[in-house]
Chains A and B, each alone.
Chain A
Amino acid sequence: MIITEQKSEEALFAFLGKARKIVLLGCSECATFCKTGGAEQLLEFEKKLGPLGVEVLARLVLEPACNAYRVRLALQKGGKGIGEILARAEAVLCFSCGDGVQTVARLTGQLEYACQIPVYPGNDTLFLGEIVRADDYVEACRACGNCELGWTGGICPTTQCAKGLLNGPCGGSKGRMCEVNGDEECAWLRIYDRLEILDQLDNLLEIRPPRDYMKDVHPRRHSARGQEAGT
């Protein structure tokens, strides 16, 4: 899941500037789970805008904000789209992850009636994470494009080691704790212990080559179109 955090009210009000008629967008997936861009959060934010004299023309939770096709339908004039209302807005505030904001910004930019409306991010996108318990998230995968979990006992050195080392611990642990994140156990000590239990310590004897950053040239793109099943 993509973990997000709402920007400060100060920052959001600053984005709006002199805009007095705005549209609030949210996202039905990650941002709803994170309580940063669900229906409730949009309503709460609208309440804060009243005293400032800002009118919310529409609140809409996109389903989801990262699906270009569905966002296009949601923003169109006619059908179930909010195009007619959007056309009167002076700004859009989008409470999704950074992907959703860009999807909305790009698509409004293509609409004749909305291309002059700025789209602002309501959230900061933090990381790709796992839900530990309600409202508590931890990063586990950096989406590096070269999954190393097969030889590390299921613990990701790229993400869990503050230095992203691939050949073992750095010597910077204090006791068993990481020198960088004092609350975290050294990932490499955890990997060592796990592989010992799995009887796979030999995995650690092999020198791992420097990471291949060819898959890390941004923006990345992946298309599975045209791939036949089983190939």
Chain B
Amino acid sequence: MSMLREVLRINRFAVTAEFAPPKGTDMDHMRVCVRLAKGRIHAANVTDFQSAVMRISSLTACKVVMDEGVEPVIQITGRDRNRIAIQGELLSAGVLGIKNLLAVTGDHPRMGDHPNAKPVYDLDSVGILQAATTFMSGTDLEGNNLNGRIEFFLGGAVSPTRETMMPQILKMRKKIAAGAKFFQTQAVFDLDLLREFRSRTATLDASVLAGIVLLKSANMARFMNRNIPGVSIPDAVVGRLDRFTGREQMNEGIRLAGELIRTVRSEGLADGIHIMAVGAEERVGQILDEAGL
């Protein structure tokens, strides 16, 4: 049974945090970060070759997360595997006892560290969800029988921006039809945007976790504004970070994240949060302290 599903079912404010598998075989740092977050989060979301950068696969890192006693969410993108490999990966996740699956399209290889790689996208995020849903009824995408049972709590990503709100919600509806029960959003900084998104998706039958990114510095905020799709950090936020120097910027970023979470929670703007500490995963606990969670 997925604890994340249970938490959302009983309307508790869900907390997940993102952990990027390392590039190389040394898992020590990731283990330490997961251990620090243990007991504070309901699930650890493990990215799948995040930013199209080659590294340890989500499946293996999920196993490490489980060994640390934390429930994982395996991410699977459509970028690197065709439908045969994706379905095989889902079966493997089932064997390891992974209960939560987040399906995403995946950044294009051009964005990553192997820009000449072949982009696959045989299944898109909707197709991955469909594959997982057919698995739960005992067959693969071609209708062939599978032995053994498999159960996933399925999720997807949604990236509502001013320019893309309606097309994104339309796709969100497709993902729900394909089996998605929860969504995590792209990093939220603009609360008015989240309010609009919340009201436009109020009738949809899925939980939403608001994406919370830890801004480690004003420069990181500026970098994200320039380079990260779907992210728009208001000048006021960048200005707040700019008032500090060195490590104090990180602390201000933690305070900012804490404040955002408090507002999301108190206004009911989402059913939970998904913390993306990008490279500072050891700080997840501090963010939750600031948020009073």
B12 within 8 A of A: no
B285 within 8 A of A: no
Taking the closest CB of chain B, its distance from the CB of A204, in whole angstroms, is 5
Taking the closest CB of chain B, its distance from the CB of A142, in whole angstroms, is 13
Instruction: Pick from B119, B122, B157, B159: contact of A211, CB below 8 A.
Output: B122
Q: Mark interface residues in A165-192 (1 if CB within 8 Å of B CB, else 0).
A: 1111111111110011000001011001
Taking the closest CB of chain B, its distance from the CB of A208, in whole angstroms, is 8
In the docked arrangement, what's the CA distance between A219 and B25, Å? 41
- Beyond A205-B173, A207-B174, whether A171 also contacts B186 by CB under 8 A is yes
| Count, A-B residue pairs, CB within 8 A | 95
B110-157 contacts to A (CB < 8 Å): 110-111, 119, 121-127, 130, 141, 157
- Is B107 a contact of A172 with CB atoms below 8 Å? yes
- Is A207 a contact of B126 with CB atoms below 8 Å? yes
Question: CB-nearest residue of chain A relative to B111?
Answer: A179
A210 within 8 A of B: yes
19 contacts between A and B (CB under 8 A): A163-B108, A163-B119, A163-B121, A167-B124, A167-B171, A168-B126, A168-B171, A171-B159, A171-B229, A172-B108, A173-B161, A173-B164, A180-B108, A201-B170, A208-B126, A210-B83, A210-B122, A210-B124, A210-B141
Chain A, interface residues (CB within 8 Å), range = 20 to 34
- Beyond A176-B163, A210-B83, whether A167 also contacts B126 by CB under 8 A is yes
A164 within 8 A of B: yes
Instruction: Pick from B159, B167, B177, B230: contact of A192, CB below 8 A.
Output: B167
Question: CB-nearest residue of chain A relative to B127?
Answer: A210
A162 within 8 A of B: yes
Label chain A's interface by main secondary structure.
loop
Report, nearest first, the 6 A-B pairs whose CB atoms are least far apart.
A171-B159, A168-B171, A170-B105, A172-B229, A167-B126, A192-B167
- Beyond A174-B229, A179-B111, whether A205 also contacts B105 by CB under 8 A is no
B158 within 8 A of A: yes
> Residues on B close to A: CB < 8 A?
79, 83, 105, 107-108, 110-111, 119, 121-127, 130, 141, 157-159, 161, 163-164, 166-168, 170-171, 173-174, 177-178, 186, 229-230
In the docked arrangement, what's the CA distance between A167 and B176, Å? 13
Question: CB-nearest residue of chain B relative to A210?
Answer: B127
Hey, which chain A residues are within 8 Å of B119, CB to CB?
162-163
In the docked arrangement, what's the CA distance between A163 and B125, Å? 12
Instruction: Pick from B111, B164, B177: contact of A169, CB below 8 A.
Output: B164
Taking the closest CB of chain A, its distance from the CB of B135, in whole angstroms, is 15
In the docked arrangement, what's the CA distance between A173 and B177, Å? 24
Taking the closest CB of chain B, its distance from the CB of A170, in whole angstroms, is 4
Instruction: Pick from A179, A201, A205: contact of B107, CB below 8 A.
Output: A179
Question: CB-nearest residue of chain A relative to B171?
Answer: A168
Hey, which chain B residues are within 8 Å of A170, CB to CB?
105, 124-125
In the docked arrangement, what's the CA distance between A231 and B91, Å? 45
In the docked arrangement, what's the CA distance between A169 and B123, Å? 14
- Is B110 a contact of A180 with CB atoms below 8 Å? yes
In the docked arrangement, what's the CA distance between A213 and B45, Å? 32
Hey, which chain B residues are within 8 Å of A192, CB to CB?
166-167, 170
A123-139 contacts to B (CB < 8 Å): none
- Is A179 a contact of B229 with CB atoms below 8 Å? yes
Taking the closest CB of chain B, its distance from the CB of A164, in whole angstroms, is 6
- Beyond A163-B121, A170-B105, whether A207 also contacts B130 by CB under 8 A is yes
- Is B163 a contact of A171 with CB atoms below 8 Å? no
Hey, which chain A residues are within 8 Å of B177, CB to CB?
207
A197-218 contacts to B (CB < 8 Å): 201, 204-205, 207-211, 213
